């Protein structure tokens, strides 16, 4: 292959990269240019806030139960929550401290108690418990 052709491809890829990032920044800054994909990806961002300590909090006050569960399943807090397993006390504190929304909080605390009882009785394994925590319905 010719060197000039490789340079042309490299410049083209660089231009494509800059264009895609520039369009992404425009979508973030200006509602007029947002597409459906961007809106779906960032649908629940309005519920994520930061508390006075600097921790991310899921503030779902005023949202219905279906929206609360959907927001929970899309947030990064869920992954942080699952990493606390098998420390069920820390998981309960996490839910009480970092989630505002009674329907979701009640559902998560009930799930923690249920999984804790079955895990310590030996009826489910650690992998099964993590699977239950990762799929809230």
**pLDDT tens string 56-74:** 887 777 777 888 788 887 7
**pLDDT tens string 71-80:** 887 788 888 8
Lowest mean pLDDT among 1-5, 116-120, 122-126: 1-5
The angle that helices 65-74 and 102-121 make with each other, rounded to 10 degrees, is: 60
Is pTM, for the whole model, over 0.85? no
Report the length, in residues, of the chain.
137
Q: Are 70 and 101 within one domain?
A: yes
Q: Are 29 and 63 within one domain?
A: no
Domain count, the chain: 2
Q: Are 33 and 74 within one domain?
A: no
**pLDDT tens string 14-54:** 887 877 666 665 555 555 555 555 555 556 667 677 777 77
Q: Cα dist. 108→40, 74, 137 in Å?
A: 24, 15, 10
pLDDT at 19: 74
Q: Are 62 and 129 within one domain?
A: yes
On the question of pLDDT at 126 being above 60, the answer is yes
- Residue whose C-alpha is closest to residue 96's, from 84, 83, 108: 108
The residue range of the domain holding 31 is 3-41
CA 5 vs. chain centroid, Å, equals: 43
Q: Are 24 and 50 within one domain?
A: no
């Amino acid at each position: 292959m010719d060197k000039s052709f490789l340079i042309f491809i490299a410049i083209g890829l660089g231009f494509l990269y800059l264009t895609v990032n520039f369009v992404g920044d425009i979508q973030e800054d200006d509602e007029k240019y947002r597409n459906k994909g961007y809106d779906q990806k960032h649908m629940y961002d309005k519920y994520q806030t930061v508390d006075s300590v600097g921790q991310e909090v899921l503030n779902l006050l005023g949202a219905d139960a279906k929206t609360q569960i959907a927001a929970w399943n899309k947030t990064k807090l869920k992954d942080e929550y699952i990493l606390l397993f098998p420390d069920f006390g820390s998981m309960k504190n996490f839910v009480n401290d970092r989630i505002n929304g009674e329907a979701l909080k009640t559902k998560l605390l009930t799930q923690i108690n249920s999984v804790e009882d079955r895990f310590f009785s030996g009826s489910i394994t650690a992998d099964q418990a993590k699977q239950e925590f990762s799929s809230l319905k």
